[in-house]
Amino acid sequence: MKFGVVVIPGCYCDHDCYYAIEKVTGKPVEFIWHEQTSVDGFDAIILPGGFAHGDYLRTGALAKFSPVMKAIRAFANMGGLVFGICNGFQILTEAGFLPGALMRNVGMKYVCKYLHLRTENAETPFTNTLSQGQLLYIPIGHGDGNYYADDETLMRIEGNGQVVFRYVDAQGQATPEANPNGSLNNIAGIVNEQGNVLGMMPHPDRSFEAILGSADGKLIFESMVNALVTK
Amino acid sequence: MGLTDVTDVRQGKIFHLQLKDGKKEQVETLAKEVLTNPVIEEYRIIWE
């Protein structure tokens, strides 16, 4: 199996993702330049964090015009695993892979800190090594992580298990105080209906080995390997 | 300041587009697919 990490001008977490995947999974991983028109040979594609195209116009707005996105869309339609982290999540919503949108943090400040996530759906290719309700300790670093979707969309994604991670306190409660950015329902990460595309604002690529402060992030990458092995 | 006649205020973005030979068709597409995110934004086109 082969992992791909997309390289878009302005994104800087590509090397973190590459290193995380290499260290955690030991599987082959390659960079994918955003002007490539083919993603043949890859089984999982990561859209890393950063500021793609300088966040011009809106965060993640212009990346959908990068030539590689057409191939990634076809890849996702065929069931390939696509994982957007932070800016990658913003790109996935702007490009229509995932519902809703990420807006400016409600406090109008960039927030950078460790926090707790609760696993709401442990049956996705990204969470199959986790248990329902399991807490993860993962850092965030973003100014535009405020997840919004209209009422009908919100009800739908809550109802059919598309909400994968929620911001919670250390006791696992999704309180307003545990919400760093104003996201509706404390939503931190969601999948598409098919379940093969995940977007999350927190950074497992910054929390995959203990020396970083938490190794909980590695569980997500390990789940992906698990899913690909059993495919 | 005692200026109490305003009942509502909105803030948004304005994009001034200069068109080649008065070609208007692309503006709608640009508005819908690039300049706004329909999940959280609306647009209005004003021709000058």
Nearest to B37 among A99, A101, A149 (CB): A101
For A51-94, the pLDDT digits (tens) are 999 999 999 999 999 999 999 999 999 999 999 999 999 999 99
- C-alpha separations of A226 from A81, A84, A218, A220, A221 in Å: 12, 18, 12, 10, 9
Task: Measure the CA angle with vertex A5, ends A125 and A49; round to 5°.
Answer: 90
- Nearest-Cα distance to chain B for A154, in Å, is 12
Residue of chain B whose Cα is closest to the Cα of A151: B39
- Nearest-Cα distance to chain B for A230, in Å, is 36
Residues of B in contact with A57 (CB under 8 A): 34-35
Which CATH number applies to A3-230? Answer: 3.40.50.880
Nearest to A103 among B34, B35, B40 (CB): B40
Share of chain A above pLDDT 90, in %: 99
Residues of B in contact with A58 (CB under 8 A): 37
For A141-194, the pLDDT digits (tens) are 999 999 999 999 999 999 999 999 999 999 999 999 999 999 999 999 999 999
Work out whether strand A146-148 and strand A163-168 pair parallel, antiparallel, or are unpaired: unpaired
Q: How far apart are the first and last CA of chain A?
A: 11
* A120 within 8 A of A188, measured Cβ to Cβ: no
pTM of the model: 0.95
Domain ranges of chain A: 3-230
pLDDT at B9 over 80: yes
Residue B40 to residue A101, Cβ atoms within 8 A: yes
Which helix (H) or strand (E) element contains residue A22? Answer: helix A14-25
Distance, in Å, from the CA atom of A196 to the CA atom of A82, rounded to the nearest integer, reads: 6
Helical pair A218-229 and A14-25, crossing angle rounded to 10 deg: 60
Contact of A1 with chain B, judged by CB distance below 8 Å, is answered with: no
